[in-house]
Amino acid sequence: MLLGLRRRWERVPRALQIVLPRLALLVPQMFGVLFVTFFLIRLLPGDPAVLLLGNMATPDAVAQLRDRLGLNDSVWVQFLTYCGNVLHGDLGISIFTSNPVTVDLLERAPATLELIAYAMVLTVIIGVTVAVASVVRPGGAVDMGARVYGLAAGAIPDFWIGLILIYVFFTMLGWSAAPFGRIDAMMSAPPYVTGFYTVDALLAGDVAALTSAAGRLVLPVLTIAIVNAGALMKMTQSIFAGAWRSDFVRHARACGVPERVIIRAAMCNSLPPIITMIGFLVGFLLGAAVLVETIFSWGGLGQYAVQAVMNSDYPALQGFVLVAAAFILVVYLVVDILYELADPRIKV
């Protein structure tokens, strides 16, 4: 019986053999995340119902919420109730905006995703090219520049460099768009398709909106990329240098294989760990987005989270943390799958 199952499993394509177990693992992981967000609120002294409703709540409302959260039940029943609510998409009501947290988050998610997506692309382009160039030509100008940049980038606070960029490019030089939101206040957002203003404007053929949205993206994306590309570059450098020094590269050179082919081969070998790095980077970018959105009044998830912290808006905070962790878990999942697909040595 078991043997038969195994034999059938071995006939499943390798890609599926990698993906399916990983997907199954996502369930307990999500459960763990729910556990953490649930107890996050229980850490607070005082009545969770009062905390979740805010100080202005009427005793009736408190009693009602206590009932709904099952606060009179044991903590495990409460946890199950919480999980049930989350599964139904109910993350509670925001104290500050009075909207359901789910609605608030969905509304703001595209702004953050657009920011992160562009920042990610720029970060990877800068990080990987500089790393490869510095390894292939050690001691060259790129290598020297990369060394200084690698050290400095890790030391620069993103919120500070954002402010400096605003001061230099907006206040002093007047080159860049104002750091207030995703699009010119005079303009209306392009019709909603993907939620990415640049993409939606392009789809609608609205050149003015596209220019404005793209212009607004420049500084925040640059801020995030400058800070994070340094870390990616350093890690890529050490991984790629490892491959570059390895015996098989020396051997390929001794066989007369041209340098550009060797670089490509070394890159293919460095790919799996670099993919993992990029996955971790998403987590960092999400953290950076919280700070950078605040500076540029971006109106995304990050700014929402900061408002939640400042207003003690616990349902909103809880909801944000949950969504952020879920997002990261999905990213890690994708990264793990790509990793295993990129490396034939990994046994299924």
Partner 1 sequence: MKLPPALRRPAAVIGLTLLALQIVMIVFAPAISPYSPVDADPVASLQPPSAAHWFGTDITGMDVFSRVVYATRINLLISVVSVAGAFVIGVPLGLLIGYYRGAASSFAMRLFDFIQAFPIFVLGMALVAVMGQEIWNVAIVLAILFIPIFARLIRAEVLSLRERPFVAAARCSGASDRHIMFRHLLPNALLPAMVQVSISIGMAILLTAGLSFIGAGVRMPTPEWGLMVSTGAQQMILGVWWVSLFPGLAIVVAVLCFALLGDVMRDLLDPTRRPAPARAKRQPANTGQTP
Partner 2 sequence: MMRETAGTPVLRIDGLTLVAETAEGERVLLDGLDLRLMPNEILGIVGETGAGKSLLARAMIDLLPSGVRRDRGEVLIEGRVLSQMTPAERRALRGGVVSLIGTNAKALLDPVERVGAQLVRVLRSHKRLPRHAAWAQAVQLLADVGIVNPEERAKAYPHELSGGMAQRVVIAMALIAEPKIVLADDATLGLDATVSVQVLDMLVERSRRMGCSVVLITHDLGIVAHYCNRVAVMRGGRIEEMAPTADFIAAPREPYSRALLDAAKARPVPSVRGVGAAGAPLLAIENLVKIFPGSRPGEQVRAVDGVSFTVRRGETLALVGESGSGKTTIGQCLVRLLQATSGRILFDGEDVTHWPENRFRTLRRQIQMVFQEPYVALNPRWRVRQLVDEPLAMLETLSAAERLKRVHEVLALVDLSTRTAELFPHELTAGEQKRVGIARALATRPDFVIFDEPTTALDIRVRAQIIDLVRDLQNRMQLSALFITHDLNSVRSLAHDVAVMNRGRIVEAGAMDEVFARPKDPYTRKLLSAELAIEQAAPPLGDRMQGVLP
Residue listed under structure tokens 């119902």: 49
Q: Which of residues 42 and 253 has its CB atom nearest to partner 2 in the complex?
A: 253
CA gap 213, 158 in Å, rounded: 21
Q: Of 244, 189, 228, 224, which Cα lies nearest the Cα of 295?
A: 224
Residue 221 contacts residue 209 (beta carbons within 8 Å): no
Site map for partner 1, 178-197, x if CB under 8 A? -x------------------
The residue within the footprint of partner 1, chosen from 21, 140, 157, 191 (CB under 8 A), is 157
Residue 258 as a binder of partner 1 (CB under 8 A): the answer is: no
230: three-class secondary structure by DSSP: helix
Site map for partner 1, 104-143, x if CB under 8 A? ----------------------------------------
224: three-class secondary structure by DSSP: helix
CA gap 193, 204 in Å, rounded: 9
Site map for partner 2, 212-251, x if CB under 8 A? ----------------------------------xxx-xx
Q: How far is CA 81 from CA 77, 85, 130, 232, 243, in A?
A: 6, 6, 50, 41, 51
Paired strand residues for 290? none
Residue 160 binding: pick among partner 1, partner 2, none (C-beta 5-8 Å cut-off by kind):
partner 1
Residue 11 as a binder of partner 2 (CB under 8 A): the answer is: no
Q: Which of residues 110 and 279 has its CB atom nearest to partner 1 in the complex?
A: 279
Give, in degrees to the nearest 5, the angle at Cα 27 between 21 and 33.
135
Q: How far is the CB of 120 from partner 2 (least distance, A)?
A: 24
Q: How far is the CB of 192 from partner 1 (least distance, A)?
A: 26
297: three-class secondary structure by DSSP: coil
Residue 197 contacts residue 118 (beta carbons within 8 Å): no
Give, in degrees to the nearest 5, the angle at Cα 102 between 293 and 179.
15
Contacts of 217 (CB under 8 A, 6+ apart): 114, 115, 118, 182, 198
Residue 257 as a binder of partner 2 (CB under 8 A): the answer is: yes
The residue within the footprint of partner 1, chosen from 32, 140, 191, 258 (CB under 8 A), is 32
Q: How far is the CB of 5 from partner 1 (least distance, A)?
A: 25
Residue 251 binding: pick among partner 1, partner 2, none (C-beta 5-8 Å cut-off by kind):
partner 2
Paired strand residues for 100? 93
The residue within the footprint of partner 2, chosen from 154, 157, 191, 258 (CB under 8 A), is 258
Q: Which of residues 199 and 321 has its CB atom nearest to partner 1 in the complex?
A: 321
The pair of structure tokens assigned to 275 is: 């993919």
The pair of structure tokens assigned to 57 is: 């709540």
CA gap 78, 239 in Å, rounded: 47
Q: Which of residues 5 and 310 has its CB atom nearest to partner 1 in the complex?
A: 310
**Considering CB under 8 A, how many residues would be counted as binding partner 1?**
52
Residue 254 binding: pick among partner 2, partner 1, none (C-beta 5-8 Å cut-off by kind):
partner 2
Residue listed under structure tokens 């510095």: 134
Site map for partner 1, 266-305, x if CB under 8 A? -----------------xx-xxx-xx--xx---------x
Residues contributing to the site for partner 1 (CB under 8 A): 29, 32-33, 35-36, 40-41, 43-44, 151-152, 154-161, 163-164, 166-167, 170-172, 179, 283-284, 286-288, 290-291, 294-295, 305-306, 308-310, 312, 314, 317-318, 320-321, 324-325, 328-329, 332
